[in-house]
Structure 1
Amino acid sequence: MSVTYTCKRVAAAFRDGDDVVYALGEVTYESNVYPHTRHLSTTFIGKLPDAIKTVFAFAADTCGGDLNSPDRKMTPERYIKSALNALKQPLPLDPDMPLHISSWDKETVDRILNTLQERGTPAILRNHYDVPRINWFVKLPFSDEGRPLLEPCPDLGYQPKKSAELPQVNFGKVLKLRPSSDNWFVRIDADGKILGRPEWQYRILGDYVSSIWETELTHPGSYKKLIPAFRDYLRDLPQSDVLCVLDPGTKYYGVDEMIAKYGDGEFLLSSVDQEDLYKIYAALKSVREV
């Protein structure tokens, strides 16, 4: 399986009236593509809230190793810290740069060109930075190695005052289920309805990381404590026995077989044969603690 190695996070910005528009970039290479040539990609362009949301979404990808650093020690906290540091000192981005739209992805190109034509304004960045995937066509003022080509502009930087208060995060209740090939976890709401689906530990952690971006906006710096605390919480969580209900509407194979075997009402997870667990987890509708 290919791993994307991220070597550096960079940022640029320009002012649009009372707002600042940020562009995020990342220097990466793929583990299974040789030679390992580093390349700078523009991964996002837009206003601050969506920039922070994007940072936390990418940080979540480090939980399972799909996104890693060359030293193979990348963590969500490390990723977020480096991205926020880049946002503190962005390089100036020319809002009047012309947009040259061309790509192998004809559908995306046609959609963008149609949007630009409908708007009827010049094809420059300040007029169209909000068009989905326009970041593909924005060149940042960095080399492919991430070396800055201009002086930073701290006046455009995101430099919030760190919050001393640790906020409460509404992520739902997490239960640790019987292991199949690995430990499984599930999130439930107050009624026992499953949020998402049962997942392995790294995916639950990733879901948590991507969910706290708004908390970071209201309580800057809180990720530094929230993420390690949640990681420890998952590690120490005792296994729960639960009453399960399957969803006959799921499209996952084996659900009819499992309903025939365990019924269409509640049944104890501890009564399930080990070889059936992965099918049960794929078809769960709700759980209730015993």
Structure 2
Amino acid sequence: MGSSILTGKRAGAMQKADGEWIYALFERGYESNVYPHTDHWSAVALGNYAQVMRRVFSHATSCEGGMLRSRNGSIRPENYIASWRSELAKPALLRNRAIDLSVGSSCYSAVPESQLDDVRLSLIRAGFESRIDELVGGSLSVSLHADIDLLLSIYGNSGSLSVWRVLKEYDCGAAQTEVPVPSATKTAMERMPEVRCHSIDQHNVLVAMGSAPWRHAGWQYSAVGSFITDVAYPVEMEAPGFAKKAIPAFRDAVSNAPQVPSATRITVTRSPEGTEEWRVRRADELARTLGLVAEDACAPAVFSFAFGDLLNREDTDRLLYGLGSFSDAQLQWEVPVARAGAEPDPAFFAADVQLSLCLA
């Protein structure tokens, strides 16, 4: 499987009449498994500071999983985010120009015919219903500056199309400007929620954030990715500088997490409302494997077992891996709280591993 290789970043900006700054973000790169390795620019985000940073944080999750790298190797998500903050502080000024929103059959069209209905709904929601006839008739030409709100409705975060269809890196002028970005606060890490985590197997982790219940968070890189978008992004918007310290702290927590205590109780609800049929079958298969029902029987509506029941079996690896097939609604984890000075669970822990790992 290939990776996207990042070779450059650039931010362009324009100021609306009400004083709000709108950014266009461009990245240059190539795919590692496509030859020759010819990099090219592509627009990746359009919106105000919070909106484009949401896209940046989303892309940062690909850094954690290794799908977005530099020529020199891996990129830490926190460094990727910090570098974009620097770009946003000194963007190039976006040149004004006319943009033809032509509807076409090509997948590269400004508005593909196959997505015309979605674009129509975007325009209606944003109050631009009067421009729909022009769009459908093929005569809608807009100004990058004067019609930026219309463009945002289609190509912004909540729009139905990607901004690379209409903006190019050369829309950035040579002149740069300084735009104030939120300054990092010394107290940002005070917003760090309590993090509790255990490893389920070699790859998967169990995580509880703050007062939220325990949940199977998937592979370690996936758990970090969820933290980046679900926790780090919203906190960063209120407490700048949070992501730079919080992401590596969370990564360390999941990387060094002790394994799930064998006394942990797992309760399975076979078929909560809205559960896909294949997940229901997983519950049936697990109940049969554990000997809770006959080979041809369905699992009870609710059943439970100890985590230790999955251990020291020929099929332990398969059973532990299979826990990732369940939805959050199907699994409830009750992890025993370790007493101060308690010995590690002999089924799992080396003597130098602590029973709990929390960040405050």
Question: Which category of TM-score, normalised to the shorter sequence, fits these structures?
Answer: 0.7 to 0.9
Q: With CA pairs under 8 Å and 6+ residues apart, which has the higher RCO, 1 or 2?
A: 1
CA contact (8 A) 1:99 1:137 kept: no
TM-score, structure 1 length as denominator?
A: 0.85
| Distance across 1 between alignment mates of 2:162 and 2:249 | 37
Give the counterpart of 1:254 among 272, 275, 282: 282
Q: Are 1:177 and 2:178 matched, yes or no?
A: no
Q: Match of 2:7, as an amino acid?
A: C
Larger radius of gyration between Structure 1 and Structure 2:
2
Give the counterpart of 1:138 among 134, 156, 166: 166
Q: Match of 1:265, as an amino acid?
A: F
| Distance across 2 between alignment mates of 1:18 and 1:129 | 18
Q: Are 1:269 and 2:297 matched, yes or no?
A: no
Q: Match of 2:260, as an amino acid?
A: S
CA contact (8 A) 1:248 1:256 kept: yes
| Distance across 2 between alignment mates of 1:169 and 1:215 | 7
Structure 1 residues 99, 15: closer, same or farther in 2, change over 3 A?
A: farther
Unaligned runs of 5+ in 2: 132-139, 293-301, 337-360
Q: Match of 1:248, as an amino acid?
A: R
How many angstroms does 1:218 deviate by?
1.9
Q: Match of 2:259, as an amino acid?
A: Q
| Distance across 1 between alignment mates of 2:119 and 2:289 | 52
CA contact (8 A) 2:101 2:141 kept: no
TM-score, structure 2 length as denominator?
A: 0.70
| Distance across 2 between alignment mates of 1:281 and 1:127 | 42
Query: Percentage identity across aligned positions?
Result: 23
What root-mean-square deviation, in Å, do the aligned CA atoms of Structure 1 and Structure 2 show? 2.6
How many angstroms does 1:111 deviate by?
3.5
Matches within 5 A, 1:103-118: 103-104=106-107, 105-109=112-116, 111-112=118-119, 118=129
How many angstroms does 1:166 deviate by?
2.7
How many angstroms does 1:214 deviate by?
2.1
Q: Deviations over 1:163-221 (max 9, x none)?
A: 11133456675432331xx2311234646363xx4311111111112231122222222
| Distance across 1 between alignment mates of 2:96 and 2:241 | 30
| Distance across 1 between alignment mates of 2:190 and 2:288 | 42
Structure 1 residues 191, 136: closer, same or farther in 2, change over 3 A?
A: closer
Q: Match of 1:278, as an amino acid?
A: Y
Q: Match of 1:285, as an amino acid?
A: L
Q: Match of 2:54, as an amino acid?
A: K
Matches within 5 A, 1:46-195: 46-101=47-102, 102=104, 103-104=106-107, 105-109=112-116, 111-112=118-119, 118-120=129-131, 123-125=142-144, 126-130=148-152, 131=154, 132=159, 133=161, 135-142=163-170, 149-154=173-178, 157-169=179-191, 173-179=195-201, 182-188=202-208, 190=211, 192=213, 194=215
How many angstroms does 1:119 deviate by?
3.7
SS in 2 for 1:34: coil
| Distance across 2 between alignment mates of 1:198 and 1:114 | 35
Give the counterpart of 2:331 among 271, 285, 288: 285
Give the counterpart of 1:199 among 218, 238, 249: 218
| Distance across 2 between alignment mates of 1:232 and 1:136 | 36
